[in-house]
Amino acid sequence: MTVQGLPMAVPARDLPARVRIHEVGARDGLQNEKATVPTEIKAEFIRRLADAGLTTIEATSFVHPRWVPQLADAEQLFPLVGDLPVALPVLVPNERGLDRALALGARRVAVFASATESFAKANLNRTVDEALAMFEPVVARAKAADVHVRGYLSMCFGDPWEGPVPLEQVVRVCRALLDMGCDELSLGDTIGVATPGHVLRLLTALNEQGVPTSTLGVHFHDTYGQALANTLAALQHGVTTVDASAGGLGGCPYAKSATGNLATEDLVWMLRGLGIDTGVDLDRLTATSEWMAARLGRPSPSRTVRALSHEDSEYSEDSHKER
Amino acid sequence: MTVQGLPMAVPARDLPARVRIHEVGARDGLQNEKATVPTEIKAEFIRRLADAGLTTIEATSFVHPRWVPQLADAEQLFPLVGDLPVALPVLVPNERGLDRALALGARRVAVFASATESFAKANLNRTVDEALAMFEPVVARAKAADVHVRGYLSMCFGDPWEGPVPLEQVVRVCRALLDMGCDELSLGDTIGVATPGHVLRLLTALNEQGVPTSTLGVHFHDTYGQALANTLAALQHGVTTVDASAGGLGGCPYAKSATGNLATEDLVWMLRGLGIDTGVDLDRLTATSEWMAARLGRPSPSRTVRALSHEDSEYSEDSHKER
């Protein structure tokens, strides 16, 4: 449990008053889990996340089951949570996926593009432009149905095959996604190599090409421990949408040591300390991540979850703990 | 091993050109280890840290062996490393400790004060003022011997018994340490609860009371994952001395889940990305932390060490790794 009065709320200058957390644990966090998580557990996870105060919870992906077997139950899962009073975006890789999502009443969808050719090839078996061409009718039809579209862009900072990613390359794909009608973008540091100066430079480069900060979300991975420092830099630039994963669930299969997404709890701790409103109940969220960790059979990688873990939790003790 | 060109070096405005890392792994990192680390291993650890480019390496503590059994070999250790071409500060809790350190030729010492009564009582069995009174002759005699004195101040942001720590309390003890002759201070977030706004407000409050930023170092713990974001905030304020522990060794026995000091590797990754010179060879440092992890029998908690770990390392695989 949190200690009374900690963290002390001390606002810093020039930061946004509110931040919207785009919670990705149920989709991005779970998609690489080997053991199949039962559909009812996923639904319960999403319900608990909503109950903890998260308002945007990415629910699942309407991808072909062969690609992501863990999310093969999208059709069964979505109706179980569709009535929750939160935004429930779902990933749609192509028109077939969009059809499935729309048939179930999804009001928010996301497409998943790459800033690099290597990852486009590895992840989508397409060139960057072929992938964009595939998304174009998806976005057009979603917009025609008045559905909100998020464009994910992966490998915005570094790529495991190509090394540093040129800014122009990222800017070009961002522009293409916005031009085809995406409502917002999520700039992904898929292998976690970004640092704050790089983040600021990319955001500035996007602004210079006419992309307003209000359309930009950030999606940092904690592979090198940089996610929260990068988030601070993005907030200082005016970003108000931050992706995070409850308990730090998830990882990138292409990063050698897959410490994955920024943990929502670590983010909420910082935002609470900065006096930035998120609407999230940290104790409730931590309890949810502990509950999910027990379902998955291993402790959460989130530092905050470990620090706040309940005495009676199966995973309240960090296995590396010294005393 | 690092990927060529990553992190991409992108300087950010208004950051220092150079940062001095005060490496605390050999002292702060090891002091809470239960199993005794052989003196020669400690010496080898310090030699490897120096070889990796660290220039300030806190070596040991001349504390009574009953208090910190792990560092009972200070007299044997110090002469083994005393000739290294680096600064080797040592902790001295009192005049007896100072005598022992001076007898061995130590040129830099540190005292360890507390901003809170509860921790002063727990750690030193004294009130804050009694502890300051104990340090006064230590600092005076060290300065008379032309020895550099660092003043550690613990619990600057939160205290496990007292909750949030009032700024005035921290400022008062800082002033007392400087007034008695300390050359620099290290502001410790012993339980890792600080967030960036709090860090900036404390630094500003100290400046307002006549304490120049150049005398201030920061010492963050990663218990809630905040250490690097707090470091970024401190750098933005002009701080150029940052404490860190190779491999993230160490922890605070009073924080429930003892994820400890900011890992030097995570810090170096960020500084390298920001184009800030530290002189540290990250691959060599990571190899040193892997080597030490194998000696201690468990993987490093540093995200960067895990990400960069060598294929042949005993601990190259994160135990929580998904694939």
pLDDT, tens digit, 9 for 90 and up, residues B22-49:
999 999 999 988 899 999 999 999 999 9
Give the per-residue pLDDT at B285.
Answer: 98
Number of H helices, E strands in chain B: 11, 11
The answer to which of A64-78, A256-270, B158-172 has the lowest mean pLDDT is: A256-270
For the residues A26-39, what does the mean pLDDT come to? 94
| Predicted confidence (pLDDT) at residue B321 exceeds the cutoff of 60 | no
Q: For residue A230, is it within any domain? A: yes
Q: Mean pLDDT over residues A188-195, rounded?
A: 96
A2 to chain B, any CB pair closer than 8 A? The answer is: no
User: Across the interface, do B228 and A226 touch by the CB < 8 Å criterion?
Assistant: yes
Q: A196: which chain B residues are within 8 Å (Cβ-Cβ)?
A: 12, 232, 270, 273-274
Strand partners, A87: A56
Task: Please count the other Cβ atoms lying within 10 Å of the Cβ belonging to residue B126.
Answer: 16
A182 belongs to a structural domain = yes
Determine the longest span between alpha carbons in chain A, in angstroms: 59
For residues A152-161, average pLDDT: 96
Q: What percent of chain B has pLDDT over 70?
A: 93
Rounded to whole angstroms, the Cα distance separating A216 from A214 reads 6
Q: What is the pLDDT of residue B3?
A: 77
Q: Where are the beta strands (DSSP E) in B165-291?
A: 184-189, 216-220, 241-244
Gyration radius (Cα) of chain B, Å = 19
Query: Is residue B236 domain-resident?
Result: yes
Q: A196 vs B225: CB contact, 8 Å cut-off?
A: no
Lowest mean pLDDT among B65-69, B205-209, B271-275: B65-69
- In order of A150, B83, B105, the CA distances from B87 in angstroms are 52, 10, 12
Q: Which residue of B has its CA nearest to A309?
A: B257
Q: Out of B4, B194, B321, whose CB is closest to A258?
A: B321
> What is the distance in angstroms between the Cα of A140 and the nearest Cα belonging to chain B?
36
Which amino acids of A are annotated catalytic?
252
pLDDT > 90 in chain B, percent = 86
For residue A301, being part of any structural domain is answered with yes
- Range 40-79 of B in CB contact (< 8 A) with A: none
Give A 85-124 residues with CB within 8 A of chain B. none
Q: Is the Cβ of A283 closer than 8 Å to some Cβ of chain B? A: no
Average pLDDT, chain A: 93
What does DSSP assign to residue B275?
T
Q: A279 near A53, Cβ under 8 Å?
A: yes
| Sequence letter at residue B35 | A
Q: Which candidate, A276, A282, A280, A274, places its Cα nearest to that of A307?
A: A282
A256-260, B5-9, B266-270: which has the minimum mean pLDDT? A256-260
The predicted pLDDT at position A313 comes to: 55
Write down the pLDDT at residue B310.
66
Q: Quickly state the pLDDT bin for A112 (edges 50, 70, 90).
A: very high
Beta-carbon separation of A232 and B233 below 8 A: yes
ipTM > 0.85, yes or no: yes
Among B195, B232, B263, whose Cβ lies nearest the Cβ of A274? B195
Residue among B193, B201, B257 whose CB faces A321 most closely:
B257
Question: A259 — contact with chain B (CB < 8 Å)?
Answer: yes
* Partner-chain contact A320 B302, CB within 8 Å: no
Q: Do B194 and A273 touch (CB under 8 A)?
A: yes
Question: Hey, is the C-beta of B37 within 8 angstroms of any chain A C-beta?
Answer: no
Token readout for B22 is 């005060």
Q: CA of B270: which chain A residue's CA is closest?
A: A195
- Residue A103, burial from CB neighbour count under 10 angstroms (0-12, 13-18, 19+): exposed
Cβ A180 vs Cβ A212: under 8 Å:
no
Q: At what angle do helices B74-81 and B39-51 cross, to 10 degrees?
A: 30
Q: Parallel, antiparallel, or unpaired for β A108-114 and A148-154? A: parallel
Q: In this complex, is the C-beta atom of A3 within 8 Å of any C-beta atom belonging to chain B?
A: yes
Reported as a single tens digit per residue, the pLDDT across B262-293 is 999 999 999 999 999 899 999 999 999 999 99
Identify from B256, B272, B310, B312 which residue to disrupt to test chain A contact, counting A C-beta atoms within 10 A and taking the largest count.
Answer: B256
Q: Is the pLDDT of residue B177 over 70?
A: yes
Are B4 and A299 a contacting pair at CB < 8 A? no
Query: Given pLDDT bands bounded at 50, 70 and 90, which one contains residue A1?
Result: low
- Would you state the pLDDT for residue A283? 96
The three-point CA angle A217-A218-A221 to 5° equals 155
Confidence of residue A2 (pLDDT cuts 50, 70, 90): confident
Q: Is residue A241 scored above 60 in pLDDT? A: yes
Please check the confidence at residue A310 and state whether its pLDDT lies above 90. no
Question: Could you tell me if A181 lies within 8 Å of chain B, comparing CB atoms?
Answer: no
B223 to chain A: which residues are within 8 Å by CB? Answer: 303, 307
pLDDT at B90 > cutoff 50: yes
CA distance B18 to chain A (A): 15
pLDDT-derived band at A298 (thresholds 50, 70, 90) equals confident
Tell me, yes or no, if A10 comes closer than 8 A to chain B by beta carbon.
yes
Q: Which of the pair, B81 or A311, is modelled with greater confidence?
A: B81
Report the CATH number that the domain containing residue B262 is assigned in CATH: 3.20.20.70
Overall domain count for chain A? 1
The share of chain A scoring above pLDDT 70, in percent, equals 93
Residue that is written with structure tokens 């863990």 in the block: A70
CB-CB neighbors (< 8 A) of B7 in chain A:
158, 193-195, 198, 224
Q: Is B205 on the interface with A (CB under 8 A)?
A: no
Residue B2 lies in a domain: no
Tell whether A109 is covered by a domain: yes
pLDDT of residue A251: 66
Q: Which residue has the higher pLDDT, B241 or B297?
A: B241
CA distance B52 to A162: 27
Cβ separation B259–A307 shorter than 8 A: yes
Inter-axis angle of helices B227-237 and B196-208, nearest 10: 30
pLDDT (0 to 100) of residue A320: 31
Q: Residue written as tokens 């421990």?
A: A225
What domain range includes position B240?
20-308
Mean pLDDT score, B191-203: 97
Q: How many CA atoms lie within 13 A of A285 on its CB side?
A: 30
Cβ <8 Å between B322 and A34: yes
Specify if B46 maps to a domain.
yes
Specify the amino acid at residue A219: H
Q: Which residues of A touch B233 (CB under 8 A)?
A: 12, 232
**Inter-chain residue contact A299 with B318, CB threshold 8 Å:** no
> With 80 as the cut, is the pLDDT of residue A209 above it?
yes
CA B169 to chain centre: 22
pLDDT for the residue numbered B251: 66
The minimal CB distance from B225 to the residues A6, A303, A323 is found for A303
Q: Is the pLDDT of residue A309 over 90?
A: no
Catalytic residue numbers of B, as ranges:
252
Give me the mean pLDDT over the A58-71 stretch.
95
Report yes or no on B3 lying in a domain.
no
Please answer yes or no on whether A253 and B198 come within 8 Å at the CB atom. no
**How much is the mean pLDDT over chain B?**
93
| pLDDT surpasses 50 at A322 | no
The mean per-residue pLDDT over the stretch A106-115 comes to: 98
